Amino acid sequence: MKTIFEKDKNLNSKPFYLNENDFIEENKRTLELNLPNMSELEVMRHYKELSDRNFCIEKGFYPLGSCTMKYNPRVNEEISSYEGFLNLHPNQDDADCQGALEVIYDLENLLKIITGMDAITLQPCAGAHGEFCAMNIVKKYFEVKGEKNRKKVLIPDSAHGTNPMSAKMNGFDCVEIKSNSDGLVDVEEIKKAVSEYGDEIAAIMMTNPNTLGLFEENILEISDILHKNGSLLYYDGANLNAIMGHTNPKLMGFDLVHLNLHKTFSTPHGGGGPGSGPVGVIKELEEFLPNPRVHFDGEVYSRKNDYKNSIGKVSTYFGDFSVYIKALCYILMLGKNLKDVSSDAVLCANYMKEKLKKYYKLYYDKICMHEFVLSGDIQKQKGVSTLQIAKRLMDSSFHPPTVYFPLIVHEAIMIEPTESENKEVLDRFIDEMIKIAKEVEENPQSFENYPQKTPVKRADETLAARHLDIKYDFSNK
């Protein structure tokens, strides 16, 4: 497909809608403006063609594990674009934005109920940003307490890469905790780390269910050991979709959590945003949250900078406000049925896992939560890698699952169906995966040539990583 500049037949002519005489001299451009000279219809066709090349949930099944690519009801988009929200400026007086402050206040309260935490900040703009904010709170908490040697953070080997990064960026050293043969955090390893490092341990960062989609059954024992050691427990809430209304991080013994509103609560994601990664904390950590917060005296909402040991701000104003509106609508719309979201997500994942485990290696064969991780090891022995299976899937009507994550599973294929798909879709995907397993048996060579139907075939990934080239070069015109 040509770029819009290549489609323009007369690049250097001035676009007809700009009249030089409309501008005062000092505001006039001194350089040529490279705008394509096209009709509105041509522009519309160009962008429609581009958008048709995207894969999206409205086009097909999108089982990207760890990402929760579920369908987000359109009504929430519509409400978040109401003019009263859209045209509000955060510098307006409290009196002008009572409704927006109420949205923030109500969402925080609902997220407190869902997580069991005592206070929430909505400021962080992504999961990783929430992790950073929370680990900053951990750091400040121990500074204020005078426990300055707590410099170590325990992180399971199944953790998302952002966990060690968030710890490191706050000056902590990471200690890796090995998983056991059940795919769970090994309690003996925790005990070993505690006896080795003792009061150097600031916190553990855990995901539950973990990134293998397995529930950490020993979480109460783990939280007990760490609390007795004076350490904090941080909950990576990216997998909250599996447990809503059934249990919560507080019941598991966690002290801080982050959530991904763009995974669990009705904001589409990908393409870099907008996202939101609220952080929840227990009472003892509330004073460290970012300022400002919203108060309600029973009649009026107001903003105050009154967290006395606040880590400061992590976003401009309150963060990604439009995402809060969608999350609030989603939670209010579902009410107590939010529990069914998680039940259905777990049911869908277990159904697929049971059907596919006869064809792909399943290292941890037990009941899973909202996602599961297969391995392409059997196929790899026949000469077909997980990457080639993913490329083959690109020629079907499905988005490939997450591959090569988590790192502890060879040739990992991580599937998260979400609750929003029906059985017919799940069955079609299962059939496709079985078909692929059979193709591997019969004709492994054919996998060298996929994808064939996509606009770009096989990108040279090494070249793309080393010589990133995403700019259009006008000098070639």
Ligand X SMILES: *Cc1c(COP(=O)(O)O)cnc(C)c1O
Structure tokens that stand for 400 in this block: 């490939």
Query: Is residue 264 involved in binding ligand X (CB under 6 A)?
Result: no
Q: Which is nearer to ligand X, 267 or 379 (by Cβ)? A: 267
Q: Which position among 100, 107, 119, 128 is part of the footprint of ligand X (CB under 6 A)?
A: 128
User: Closest CB to ligand X among 273 and 312?
Assistant: 273
Q: State which of positions 274-303 bind ligand X (CB under 6 A).
A: 275, 277
Residue closer to ligand X (CB basis): 260 or 396: 260
CB nearer to ligand X: pick between 229 and 342: 342
Cα separation, 157 vs 179, in Å, equals 6
DSSP three-state, residue 185: strand
Please tell me the distance from the alpha carbon of residue 104 to that of residue 116, in angstroms, as a whole number. 18
Q: Exposure pattern of 381-397 as b/e (b: 16+ CB <10 Å)? A: eeebebebbbbbbbebe
Neighbours of 410 (CB within 10 A): 13
Q: How far is CA 49 from CA 41, 42, 61, 251, in A?
A: 12, 11, 21, 50
Question: What does each C-alpha distance from 114 to 44, 334, 345, 449 come to in angstroms?
Answer: 43, 13, 17, 47
CB of 169 to ligand X, least distance (A): 13
- Asked if 160 touches ligand X (CB under 6 A), the answer is yes
Please give the single-letter amino acid code of residue 206. Answer: M
Of the candidates 390, 381, 393, which has an alpha carbon nearest to the alpha carbon of residue 431? 393
**162 scored as a contact of ligand X (CB under 6 A):** yes
Position 66 contacts ligand X (CB under 6 A): yes
Identify the DSSP state of 232: E
Tell me the CB-side half-sphere exposure of residue 326, using CA atoms within 13 A.
27
- Least separation in angstroms between CB 66 and ligand X: 4
How many chain residues bind ligand X (CB under 6 A)?
A: 13
For ligand X, the closer CB: 128 or 233: 128
Which window, 25-33, 37-45, 121-129, 287-295, contacts ligand X (CB under 6 A)?
Answer: 121-129
Q: Is 72 in the site for ligand X (CB under 6 A)?
A: no
Closest-approach residue to ligand X (CB): 127
Q: Is 158 in the site for ligand X (CB under 6 A)?
A: no
Alpha carbon distance, N-terminus to C-terminus of the chain: 17
x-marked contacts with ligand X along 34-63 as a string, rule CB under 6 A: ------------------------------
Among 186, 216, 236, 320, binds ligand X (CB under 6 A): 236
For the chain, the C-alpha Rg in angstroms (whole number) is 25
In the complex, least distance from residue 97 CB atom to ligand X, rounded to whole angstroms? 27
Determine which residue in the list 127, 253, 292, 319 makes contact with ligand X, applying CB under 6 A: 127
Between 258 and 303, name the residue whose CB sits nearer to ligand X.
258
DSSP state of 94: G
Burial of 125 (0-12, 13-18, 19+ CB in 10 A): buried
Quick check: helix, strand or coil at residue 279?
Answer: strand
Work out whether 389 is an interface residue with ligand X (CB under 6 A): no
436 binds ligand X (CB under 6 A): no
* 126 is a site residue for ligand X (CB under 6 A): yes
As measured in angstroms, the least distance from the Cβ of 406 to ligand X is: 9
Quick one: 107 or 206, whose CB is closer to ligand X? 206
Q: Examine residue 384 and tell whether it contacts ligand X (CB under 6 A).
A: no
Q: What's the min distance (Å) between Cβ of 300 and ligand X?
A: 34
- Smallest gap from Cβ 242 to ligand X, in A, equals 11
Looking up tokens 């598991």, which residue turns up?
A: 252
What letter does residue 361 receive in the DSSP assignment? B
Stretch that binds ligand X, among 75-83, 123-131, 149-157, 187-195 (CB under 6 A): 123-131
User: Could you give the CA distance from residue 164 to residue 161 in angstroms, rounded to a whole number?
Assistant: 6
Interaction between residue 241 and ligand X (CB under 6 A) = no
70 lines the binding site for ligand X (CB under 6 A)? no
**Does residue 267 interact with ligand X by CB under 6 A?**
no
Q: Tell me how far, at minimum, the Cβ of 275 lies from ligand X, in Å.
A: 5
Least CB distance to ligand X at residue 65 (A) = 8
Burial class from Cβ neighbours inside 10 Å (0-12, 13-18, 19+) for residue 452 reads: exposed
In the complex with ligand X, the residue whose CB is nearer, 100 or 185, is 185
Query: How distant, in Å, are the alpha carbons of 379, 448, 457 from that of 443?
Result: 11, 10, 20
Q: Say if CB 244 and CB 338 are below 8 A apart.
A: yes
Instruction: Tell me the β-bridge partners of 257.
Output: 235, 280
Place of tokens 């307490």: 145
Query: What's the min distance (Å) between Cβ of 270 and ligand X?
Result: 10
Residue 131 in tokens: 């992790």
- Contact criterion met (CB below 8 Å) for 158 and 121: no
Using the contact rule CB under 6 A, the part of the chain among 25-33, 124-132, 299-307, 368-376 near ligand X is: 124-132
* Beta strands at 119-121 and 152-156: parallel, antiparallel or unpaired: unpaired
Binding residue for ligand X, selected from 260, 267, 386, 396, defined by CB under 6 A = 260
Q: Tell me: does residue 259 bind ligand X (CB under 6 A).
A: no
Binding positions for ligand X, rule: CB under 6 A: 66, 126-128, 160, 162, 207, 211, 236, 238, 260, 275, 277
